[in-house]
Amino acid sequence: MIIAILLGIPIAFALILAAMAIMVHMNMLDDQIVALNLISGIQNFSLMAIPFFMLAGEFMTAGGLSKKIVDLAAAFVGHLRGGVGYVTIIAAVLFASLSGSAVADAAALAAIMVPMMTACGYRKEQAAGLVAGGSVIGPIIPPSIPFIMFGVASGVSITKLFMAGIFPGLMLAAALTVVWWWQSRKQEGAVLPKKTWPERWKVLRESFWALLLPVLIIGGLRLGWFTPTEAAIVAAAYAWFVGTFIYRNIKLRTLYQCLVSAAKSTSTVMFLIAGSMVLAYMLTLANIPLQIADMLGPLVDNQLLLMLAINALVLIIGTTMDLTPIVLIMTPVLFPIIKMAGIDPIYFGVVFIINCCIGLLTPPVGTVLNVVAGVSRMKFGQTVKGVLPFLAAEFVVLVLFILFPQLVTVPAGWLTE
């Protein structure tokens, strides 16, 4: 699989080729196995949430909801020293509660915040690094497309995963805030004009409809009003309605563009899922999860050492592979092992996805880094240099979650009772 990826073969095809290699090894090469698993792999109701969350993200960007959120953050903290950086972090948290995709958040934030930060006198690589670091909060705070994929692959409650991701996502934001405060305390970057309270109330009123969306999604999930899939449909319908009839930015032409863009993004993700399901089926048939469990057998009785070993493995894989294939390939392999060790599956899911998100910031692949560099029109190496302090902070938070599982499990318990 790695050889295929290095040769430039699309990841979905590389997954299928890897599955076929196992078939050849087991003397059972059969195109029907490939076809059946490609189809059955995406015949899951929970996966219907993905296209609708993708569509909701498109509607939010086109409808002006994203811009309203940035304006709101700027109105309250933009006048502070380093204020535009705090605006970026707050916007990243609010975007995370709307889209569920790190790549979507990275594109939207980079387009808005990098020019704003450079106009205020901050280095472009510093601005891009903060945007990239903030973007990976997107898949942690609900809604989260990676949590949906993990839940489908493992059978864990997606709603519980969503609720368990809220506090860890806020901790990542707090870590970025500390690093930015340290960086900006001696810099004389320009600040945004301080808004009066009447001006702030006006911006808050204008942003009300955008802020209501995360409340609707998280509140509806917490109260059991709808499932994650139904929440995605509600989010898309709500974002379209607000963008069309309240902010009046979505016209008929814009609607068509949003539908096409969401369809393209969805088809890419769904084909990856289908390809990974073929490989997951062959991995199970070849008994590979049990073989890996035997290798990790000495660590099963020590949850801390097992979590450290698994996360070290995922960190290494994350430098060469994107988030989606890691989740889809490694979940069926690792999940039986963590169940055998008695590790809370919700806790493991949150830590695992955070680790995969950190991989989005590590070269040579670094999908989020590539997106930010492309949108900001800067070299990939500059973005890598700018993100390093923020990447280090997020790595420290990950280690804290491994050493102290209660940081994840206790808040998750409060929100899922």
Sign of CA pseudo-dihedral 98, 102, 103, 106: positive
In this prediction, residue 358 carries a pLDDT of: 92
- Name residue 236's amino acid: A
Residue 20 falls inside a structural domain: no
Residue 56 falls inside a structural domain: yes
Residue 3 falls inside a structural domain: no
Number of domains in the chain: 1
What one-character-per-residue DSSP string does 318-357 give?
A: HTTS-HHHHHHHHHHHHHHHHHHTT--HHHHHHHHHHHHH
Residue 18 falls inside a structural domain: no
CA distance 343 to 367: 30
Query: Is the pLDDT score of 307 beyond 70?
Result: yes
In this prediction, residue 375 carries a pLDDT of: 84
- Name residue 152's amino acid: V
In this prediction, residue 182 carries a pLDDT of: 92
Banded model confidence at residue 174, pLDDT cuts 50, 70, 90: very high
Contact 121, 191 (CB under 8 A): no
Residue 27 falls inside a structural domain: no
Residue 329 falls inside a structural domain: yes
Residue 173 Cα distances to 20, 141, 302, 354, 363, angstroms: 42, 11, 30, 13, 22
Structure tokens at 223: 């109260």
329-360 per-position pLDDT tens digit:
888 888 888 988 899 999 999 999 999 999 88
16-35 per-position pLDDT tens digit:
898 899 999 988 888 888 88
Structure tokens at 249: 């930015």
Residue 287 falls inside a structural domain: yes
Q: Please, which residues have CB within 8 angstroms of residue 312's CB and are 6 or more apart in sequence?
A: none
Q: How many CB atoms lie within 10 A of CB 364?
A: 10
Enclosing domain of residue 113: 44-416
Q: How many CB atoms lie within 10 A of CB 258?
A: 25
